[in-house]
Structure 1
Amino acid sequence: MRSQPSLLLLLALICFALFAAASQWRANTPAPVTPVVEGRVVIAAPVLLVLFGGDRFLAANLETMRLAATGVDWGQADTGYLIRAQQVVAELNPCHEDNYYLANGLLTWGGADREGSEVLRRASSCRFWDELPPFFYGFNRFFFDHDVDTAATYLEEAASRSTANAAGFRKFAIMLKAEQIQDEQLALEFLQGEQDQASDPKLKAMLAKRVQRLQGLVTLREAQRRFEVQSSSPLIAPDQLLESGLLAAFPEDPLKLGYEFVDGRFVLKKLKVAGMEDR
């Protein structure tokens, strides 16, 4: 009878040793890699039409819900699957609102800007009353492809469909064109012409500030040219224009951004967003 407590104590010690060994082994085991689901099946549009009795709108709706629910796993988007699925939805119903929203958010800004922009382009043609697809598409063509002409065309299209945002869209398109003009005097004349032609008071007021801002740049560059002719030496610091009497004061920027003297030349100061300067 006396040996029974000893046996139980020995068994408890063995169990504790096994538990400690298992805990130590688990602590030294690398964490499992988060599974990423790849190769999801995307059914072709003609097959979906057959499965849903020829109702392309129903097929597009259900496919959009499926990709919205399964396109992101463990915080990671399955871009390949989303590209295929959203292209199928755009083929079934290019007017689908959720599809172009998802395409712009998950594809365009997720590394597949060309595929996302193509969904937006098709939505722009189909949703002739909606200002957002042409705005998104125009912005993306400028930001990712630096295609000013296409961007301005779609921004103008967005403006023609909009009421509250029309002036802002048109101003954006005009400024994109103006920034392509290297000569500041020609750019100023272009902006003044656009301001004179504008019938929207809101747009006219927006352009007036840009005209005034560009006039300030023209003033600075003209003063610099006169200084360098008179002194036969390059301008080293902006204050030299004040000291020489060529400027009584630096021009004020109505946008409150100001001007910069970079590499011996006056330029318009712009807002800088971290990570976006190289775009």
Structure 2
Amino acid sequence: MRYRYPLSLVLALSGLTLFFISLQPRQQPPELLMPVTEGRVVMSAPLLLTLFGGDRFLAANLESMRLSITGVDFGQADTRYLIRAQQEVAELNPCHEDNYYLASGLLTWGGADREGAEILKRAMECRFWDELPAFFYGFNQAFFNDDLAGASRSLELAALRATDNAAGFRKLAVMLRAESFSDEKLALEYLIQQRNSTNDPKLRDMLDKRVVRLQGLVDLRLAQRRYTSQYGPLSDLVQLVTSGELVAIPDDPLRLGYELRDGRIELRRLKIAGMEGQP
């Protein structure tokens, strides 16, 4: 006696077979299946506040954890995504410690110093007991914006809030006023100290890239001084190589590079559509 399969089972198996067949032309070779990091969704602060029942502290905590995990791929920070996400966290809770620390390490030294400085400024005003936001903000104002007076005021504020580091902060404030230090060399020493003091291997790797980037700037400026003393003003970075001052232009692990701006070699900044020229 022949066994008859139920019609519903036959239809289900047929549909499943057609489904798998339809998927075959869409498959791509493994080497093309690379993760996409652009266009990540960032929810606004009001929406996050609604989703978490009006608890802005919980919303800021969870969003900060999410962006710290998703903001880096293959050792490279997705700076555009981090800018948008960290601004929303600062809107929810400007006091958030992880948010300002990430902004200082990944935004400020990743080509988005103005956006990082804004988050640091809000943290400095909110965390009245914490010397670190004032220190980071003051240091970055001096190095990136040449605002020595503003930087000195921030460092004095850090000294007032500090316990063990008060003398060091005041010394830096005095040095800023006197303009008695080389910005890029001080910055390099600072980054090396930050890199060597962390026990987080992921953060250490990120900071190491910024150390390499800043070391390249130091080398370029030293070569520029040698070139200028022999040949006159520098008009193109390539001249440092053709003249023999450098074997090659230093590689920037962040892939932003360096540029000659107003006769001075600078770190090239991240350019974000609609944000250029903003104060």
| TM-score, length basis structure 1 | 0.53
Tell me the amino acid that sits aligned with residue 71 of structure 2.
G
SS at 1:39 equivalent: coil
Tell me the amino acid that sits aligned with residue 128 of structure 2.
F
Tell me the amino acid that sits aligned with residue 50 of structure 2.
V
Instruction: Measure how far apart 1:32 and its partner are.
Output: 4.8
SS at 1:38 equivalent: coil
Tell me the amino acid that sits aligned with residue 47 of structure 2.
V
Matches within 5 A, 1:19-58: 32=32, 34-58=34-58
SS at 2:152 equivalent: helix
* Deviation string, structure 1 residues 15-35 (Cα, Å, up to 9, x no partner): xxxxxxxxxxxxxx9x65954
Cα distance in 1 between the residues matched to 2:148 and 2:34: 42
- Is the CA contact 1:158–1:169 (under 8 Å) kept in the aligned structure 2? yes
Cα distance in 2 between the residues matched to 1:97 and 1:278: 33
* Deviation string, structure 1 residues 77-107 (Cα, Å, up to 9, x no partner): 1111100000000000000001011111111
Cα distance in 1 between the residues matched to 2:113 and 2:52: 31
Tell me the amino acid that sits aligned with residue 179 of structure 1.
E
Cα distance in 2 between the residues matched to 1:178 and 1:76: 37
- Is the CA contact 1:36–1:73 (under 8 Å) kept in the aligned structure 2? no
Instruction: Measure how far apart 1:278 and its partner are.
Output: 4.6
SS at 2:130 equivalent: coil
State the identity as a percent.
70
Give the corresponding residue for 1:121. Answer: 121
Cα distance in 2 between the residues matched to 1:112 and 1:66: 20
Give the corresponding residue for 1:135. Answer: 135
Give the corresponding residue for 1:63. Answer: 63
Cα distance in 1 between the residues matched to 2:136 and 2:157: 11
- Is the CA contact 1:34–1:74 (under 8 Å) kept in the aligned structure 2? no
* Deviation string, structure 1 residues 201-242 (Cα, Å, up to 9, x no partner): xxxxxxxxxxxxxxxxxxxxxxxxxxxxxxxxxxxxxxxxxx
Moved over 4 A (4+): 31-34, 274-279
* Deviation string, structure 1 residues 167-225 (Cα, Å, up to 9, x no partner): 11111111111128xxxxxxxxxxxxxxxxxxxxxxxxxxxxxxxxxxxxxxxxxxxxx
Give the corresponding residue for 1:157. Answer: 157
Cα distance in 1 between the residues matched to 2:145 and 2:135: 15
Tell me the amino acid that sits aligned with residue 167 of structure 1.
A
Instruction: Measure how far apart 1:74 and its partner are.
Output: 1.9
Q: What count of residue pairs does the alignment treat as equivalent?
A: 160
Cα distance in 2 between the residues matched to 1:36 and 1:152: 42
Q: Is 1:148 aligned with 2:148?
A: yes
Matches within 5 A, 1:1-279: 32=32, 34-179=34-179, 278=265
* Deviation string, structure 1 residues 127-167 (Cα, Å, up to 9, x no partner): 00000000000000000111001100100000000121111
